[in-house]
Amino acid sequence: MVGDEVALALAHGRPLVALESTLIAHGLPRPRNLAVARELGAAVRAAGATPATIGVLDGKVVVGLDDDQLTRIALGEDVPKLSVRDIPFAVSTKSDGATTVASTAAIAHRVGIGVFATGGLGGVHRDAAYDESADLQLLGRTPITIVCAGVKSILDVPATLERLESLSVLVAGYRTDRFPGFYLADSGHQVPWTLDNPAQVAAAAAARDALGFGLGAIVLANPIPVDRQLDPVLHDRVLAEALAGAAAQGVTGKDITPYLLAYFHEATGGGSLEVNIDLVSRNATLAAQIAVAAAGTPA
Ligand code: PSU
Ligand code: MN
């Protein structure tokens, strides 16, 4: 399950950052997705931690995909998107698969990795038929730190924030009191707490664990800087078109998020893609800094 380099880092208490593979396989177009997967690993290393990209190959959960394995997940035909409930089926049928935030967080915590970086969390969708990502429930019961740019702006952001509160997920802004809007620096909503440096984030995780309330994840919301965000007017126009397109084509279930992201990437001429890559890579760097700070903090 655990690759050699990750096993060594775990054994020596060295800083590690989990990375997910659904973002690679289903959130970004090929072949750029493979280059991004490699860049994320490099960003984690440059900040002094070991990357542990998670996925499933031939029914084996792999923590720390090597370059060949990463290539298989990024470029493979019909690699399924595996949320946490799908993992037992993928294992028992010896399938390959890419792991979402929910499944990556579950696996990372299971092997003892405390920090995880992604782009934007799943959440409550805007469509009429009720659709809520399994990411939320899982984060409610999994004590890791996840660095993200908020929740994807294709979602119902205020409803998702309410669900995060109900599930007692710890939410903090990184150097901001605004909840970021994925492609946008500000979703228009506030965060209850602000943390200003990696050591404060590590200290919050340590406090949560020491209190023993059985709380779940810290969602550390790290906004894209305003000067690098997608143009908000373009964002709102494309979002309306994308939602209408999904409804007209009857896209539902686990296909809806990849559909909306791909729609954005095409309709913005790659503009949203660059922002997405930028924000994930910043999150990977910050996650590594937090893992480094946590490794220096006695438990
Ligand atoms: N962040 C991104 N791109 C993505 C995702 C996150 O920048 O594609 C993925 C994550 O794997 C997340 C999933 O768990 O989108 C949410 O899918 P759903 O809405 O079907 O739960
Ligand atoms: Mn869903």
* ipTM of the prediction: 0.96
Location of structure tokens 């399938």: 95
pLDDT at 74: 98
- The whole-model pTM stands at 0.97
CA of 132 to the centre of ligand 2 (A): 5
Q: Is 131 annotated as a binding residue?
A: yes
163 CA distance to ligand 2 middle (Å) = 14
- Identify the pLDDT of residue 271: 98
Structure confidence at residue 299 (pLDDT) = 47
Helices (H) and strands (E) in the chain, counts: 12, 12
Helix (H, G, I), strand (E, B) or coil at 110: helix
User: What's the confidence (pLDDT) of residue 130?
Assistant: 87
Is 135 annotated as contributing to ligand binding?
Answer: yes
Question: Annotated active-site positions, please?
Answer: 20, 152
Q: Which of 19, 20, 21, 22 to mutate to test the pocket of ligand 1 (most atoms within 8 A of CB)?
A: 22
pLDDT at 290: 98
Residue 129, Cβ density class (10 Å: 0-12 exposed, 13-18 middle, ≥19 buried): exposed
- What is the distance in A from the centroid of ligand 1 to the CA of 255? 10
Q: How far apart are CA 232 and CA 109, in angstroms?
A: 36
- Whole-number Å distance between alpha carbons of 234 and 113: 38
In the prediction, which pLDDT does 297 show?
57
Report whether residue 131 contacts ligand 1, using a CB cutoff of 6 Å: no
Instruction: Say which amino acid occupies 227.
Output: D
Phi and psi at residue 173, to the nearest 5°: -90, 145
Residues of the chain with pLDDT below 70 are: 128, 297-299
Q: What is the DSSP letter of 270?
A: T
First to last CA, the chain: 25
Question: Residue 230 has what DSSP assignment?
Answer: P
- Is 22 close to ligand 1, i.e. is its CB under 6 Å away? yes
- What sign for the dihedral angle of Cα 224, 226, 231, 232? positive
